[in-house]
Amino acid sequence: MMRLLLAALVLLGAAGPSFGQTSGDPPIGVHLGVATCAGSNCHGATQRPRNSYVPGNEYLIWSQHDKHHIAYQVLLENRAVKMAQALGLPDAAHQKYCLDCHADNVPQDQRGVQFQLSDGVGCEACHGGASGWLGIHVSGATHAQNVAAGLYPAEKPIARAEKCLSCHYGDETKFADHRLYGAGHPRLAFELDTYTAIQPAHFVVDQGYIERMGRITDLQVWSVGQAIALIKRMDAVLDPKHAPKGTWPEFAFFDCQSCHHEYGDYARPTTTGLGPGTVKFNDANELMLQVAAMRVAPAAATALRDHMMALQKATVENWSAVEQEAQGVRAAAQSLVNEFAHHNFTGDDMRALAEALFAHAQTDDVFSHDEQITFALEALTAGLKSSGDITDQKGQTIDNALKAVYAAFPNDKTVNRDAFNKALKGLQQAMRR
């Protein structure tokens, strides 16, 4: 009886969001605020609460180590103030334009009593407004029940990719265009699996996690992240808002370092099939997806490559040709999303992917490629370790070799080519059986 009642309550709760709002109803999905989650007996615990599935220190990790926590605060800093000035805004901290990614900027009527905009990208920015699910969540409902009641399924690769990339690349309402970059916004680098790990993650994949959430692998997260990132890129290209204005296309679609490089005496051959001196469309996500697809769905890999090369060529022809090829790239990426989300990447798969990445690194020296290759190797290392395919000692050797790869990047804009190639060789050795 008790169980039935609970189930009925859960169903009722779940029905709320999916039925949508009708006028006069109190708003659903109210964001209650970080303080609601941060109790010492909940997610702000210094030691694991009794019978808890999770360590309970999630709030502490976020507030002490996770940059999402200072996302709002940076809007008050000198750099943001200067950027706002350049954009003709009075400040950054009150602008929807900035707040939509630098805070949990829900409308006023969806902010609960403990909600504070200054909490930055707080719990509910990613996990969803808790008013519908907090009750059952603290009452011990299952994860599936919480999700049914409105908790965002951040563990699912596709859902996680959609949520993270809505800011870390952009979507139809949020987009870091070149005007924003020109005003001084830092470049957005991203890879879903690596960034999940270095956030740092405030979850631990243990038996309890796997039982509740299922086994999700680093390679699924990596490959789905690449596919969704590419889809979002193509969506932005196809968005009429970002069509060329006057003489110029939206530069944010292009590879930053394609223009922003020193022009010392080292001119590189292009990788786009276009002549020297042409601006390169950012194809790093496409390249990673192509490498992954070559192992899992070779036909899609070929389609991706052909459409992306045609897109590069179209950038020196006309924008409608770019749009046409963007449709092709998007369709190829879309066809891979579900396949990757459920693909069982074996140890052999991972080693083959690593070899493909090492081989590619020798063929060009494009910064955005090097960066994504490094992130991919991070995901592969994590995947190999968690798959049980390698010993702990081997894992340590690989970790050390990977550190050398990262060390080849003196900053987030340049790579020391010789050190990078040497470190990749070391990692290649370390990864072999």
Vertex 102, ends 99 and 104: CA angle to 5°?
75
Contacts of 260 (CB under 8 A, 6+ apart): 413
**Residue type at position 119:** D
Any idea which residue has 């070899």 for tokens? 355
**Would you say 26 or 88 has its CB closer to another protein?**
88
Please state the closest distance from residue 410 (CB atom) to another protein, in A.
Answer: 11
Please state the closest distance from residue 173 (CB atom) to another protein, in A.
Answer: 19
Any idea which residue has 């631990």 for tokens? 204
Please state the closest distance from residue 361 (CB atom) to another protein, in A.
Answer: 21
Instruction: Tell me the three-class secondary structure of 170-181, residue by residue.
Output: ECCCCECCHHHH
CA atoms within a 13 Å half-sphere pointing along the CA-CB vector of 189: 19
Binding site for another protein (CB under 8 A): 79, 82-83, 86-88, 177-184, 186-187, 244-249, 251, 256, 259-263, 265-267, 269-270, 275-279, 315-319, 321-322, 411, 413
Please state the closest distance from residue 407 (CB atom) to another protein, in A.
Answer: 19
Any idea which residue has 């290649």 for tokens? 428
Answer for the pair 218, 354: CB distance below 8 angstroms, yes or no. no
**Would you say 116 or 271 has its CB closer to another protein?**
271
Please state the closest distance from residue 323 (CB atom) to another protein, in A.
Answer: 11
Please state the closest distance from residue 185 (CB atom) to another protein, in A.
Answer: 9
d(CA 389, CA 344): 13
d(CA 342, CA 321): 34
**Would you say 168 or 280 has its CB closer to another protein?**
280
User: 213-226 burial, b if ≥16 CB within 10 A, otherwise e?
Assistant: beebbbbbbbbbbb
**Would you say 79 or 394 has its CB closer to another protein?**
79
d(CA 375, CA 370): 9
**Would you say 85 or 327 has its CB closer to another protein?**
85
**Would you say 57 or 315 has its CB closer to another protein?**
315
